[in-house]
A and B are shown apart, each in its own frame.
Chain A
Amino acid sequence: MTVTVEPEVFRFVEFDNAMIAEVGNKLAAQLGIDRPIVVRVDETTPLGRVRATIGDTIEVTVESGAFEDSKRPRRQSEVATTINLGRILLRVRDRLHGGFGEAPLDDDIALAQMAAWETYCAGRLSRLGLRINRQRWLYNFRNRHGFSDKADAAFDAVWAADSLTWVQLEAISDAAVAVPSSA
């Protein structure tokens, strides 16, 4: 499947349209995504949110911070591009193929549940060979589920999983959140 990227030429940042398309095509092949993908980069903001809309074509909207080299403002990082595009495409794949039919729309997902889903994605990306900072995702999981042994155990379970459904993921997240942070 073909990945197209907009805009063709960037004005606010020094990004490479072709490199984003190449990374996207490689990820789509690795993840088995069989629909065309359009990646639209909002280069007017340094924030880093990434969203996707699934239709006949998968439309991915990316704020420029998501593909940026955090050491060199306005320059692109291939690693960040791969990881952040990989995260959203994994969530797309989950919705298309992976038992996530019951998952709410992204905007309606609670922060804790989204942290669990992101952990699930990051764990799988690390096993695809991407350099993922596990502690980064553990900290995010703890911020959303509490700083407790039970939350850490839930994180470990989600991180190591390869075939969770939304119902299973939601149950793990909800059980971890229910534990007081002092436990």
Chain B
Amino acid sequence: MRKFFPVEELARDSRFTQINMRQAQADPRTALVGPNAARRAKTNRLTPSRPDASEAARALMHGIFVGEIQALEGAGRTCHDFETATGSNSAAGTETDSVPFALKLDMARQAWDESRHVEISVKLGEWMGAEIGQFAENTVLFEAACSTDPVMRLAGVNRALEGLAIDVFTTMKEFGEVAGDPFLGFCEDWMLADEVTHVKMGSDWLRKVTENDPERRARALEFQSIVDKLFSFGGTRSESSDSPIGLARRFRELAGFTSDEVDEIADVSLAALEDRKAFAAAAMSSSGMSSSGMAADE
């Protein structure tokens, strides 16, 4: 079976349309400035009180669904792409082309979890009135799972993106509970428990595999920071009230992040939000609009 599968060749049927993070970032529109920005709610958080709450929840649910597919594919690839470490390397997998057998077992367990999450997400999507493939599939998660160094995958996928999943599931769980949805909060809570485990797996193996290789650990943590920044473009996850997904600090701590690390992710997310505001304001300025939305010559 082929190893190191490129993101462009992921198997999808005709219902799916894929975009990458770069394409998503190329969209100059923003809800935060513009002609009607002053009229909009000051917070972008997903709550039932938002007039567009049902639409936003449905789109987020579809994002969860495609994320689960990619997480399944990524964990499965990590089981297969690397040799099983042997001899003196067997416990830690210190070579970049091999991993400990126990790490493969954890990835296999994760693949099993993710496949269950895919099925649950499909059912929840139907319940909310979404259709498979209704929204574009952002392939960022699998892109982070394409590294040839398994430690990078642990940092980028398990710690950064599965960490994002914790934030998303927490948001959806709270949304379902407040709305009185009999299924949403319950299902999200069960999936959330798995995601916490996946993040902890990433944290534990990252520390273990790089125990005697500080440079490799530093590279992996830098990669995690970059993935965090990429996914935070537009401030989707910062602790600012402009962000739709609040950081679930307690869950992140349970998943193996230190308080300093959680603080750093919040700072990076807030910086990304400010970048996007500046970017949007510049784009509108170049098109003759001011950030208040009035034509510049009026």
Contacts and interface: CB of A to CB of B under 8 A. Distances in A.
A11 B284 CA distance: 10
Contact of B136 (A72, A133, A142): A72
- Classify the secondary structure of B's interface with A: loop
B46 to A, nearest CB: 12
B30 A147 contact: no
Given A13-B29, A181-B180, A42 B135 contact: no
Contacts, number: 96
Contacts of B48: 143
Nearest to B134: A70
Contacts of B293: 44
B34 A139 contact: no
Contacts of A49: 36, 51-52
Contacts of B40: 47
Interface string A134-177: 11111110110011000000000000000000000000000000
A12 B129 contact: no
Contact of B23 (A64, A73, A137): A73
B91 interface: no
A82 B49 CA distance: 27
Given A44-B293, A114-B51, A133 B29 contact: no
A155 B60 CA distance: 24
Nearest to B283: A12
A143 B34 contact: no
Contact of B30 (A45, A111, A137, A139): A45
Contact of A44 (B133, B134, B179, B289): B289
Contacts of A111: 49, 51
B129 A47 contact: no
B36 A42 contact: yes
Q: Which of A11, A12, A13 has the most CB of B within 10 A?
A: A12
B282 to A, nearest CB: 12
B24 interface: yes
A139 B36 contact: no
B121 to A, nearest CB: 15
A47 B180 contact: no
B128 A139 contact: yes
A48 interface: yes
A63 interface: yes
A interface residue count range (under 10 / 10 to 19 / 20 to 34 / 35 or more) = 20 to 34
A48 B55 contact: yes
B36 A140 contact: no
A160 B221 CA distance: 57
Nearest to B287: A11
Contacts of B280: 44
A46 B31 contact: yes
A71 B180 contact: no
A105 B293 CA distance: 24
Nearest to A11: B287
B132 to A, nearest CB: 11
21 contacts: A13-B29, A44-B284, A44-B289, A45-B34, A46-B30, A47-B31, A47-B52, A49-B36, A49-B51, A61-B36, A71-B134, A71-B136, A72-B19, A72-B136, A73-B23, A135-B126, A135-B128, A136-B128, A137-B129, A138-B129, A146-B180
Interface of B: 17, 19, 23-24, 27-31, 33-37, 40, 48-49, 51-55, 58-59, 126-131, 133-136, 179-182, 280, 283-284, 287, 289, 293
Interface of A: 11-13, 42-49, 61, 63-64, 70-74, 111, 114, 133-140, 142-143, 146-147, 181
The 9 A-B pairs with the shortest beta carbon distances in the complex, nearest first, are: A136-B129, A181-B180, A44-B34, A135-B129, A140-B54, A71-B17, A46-B29, A139-B129, A70-B135
Given A44-B280, A73-B19, 12 more contacts: A43-B29, A49-B51, A70-B135, A71-B135, A71-B136, A73-B27, A136-B54, A136-B58, A136-B130, A139-B129, A143-B48, A147-B181
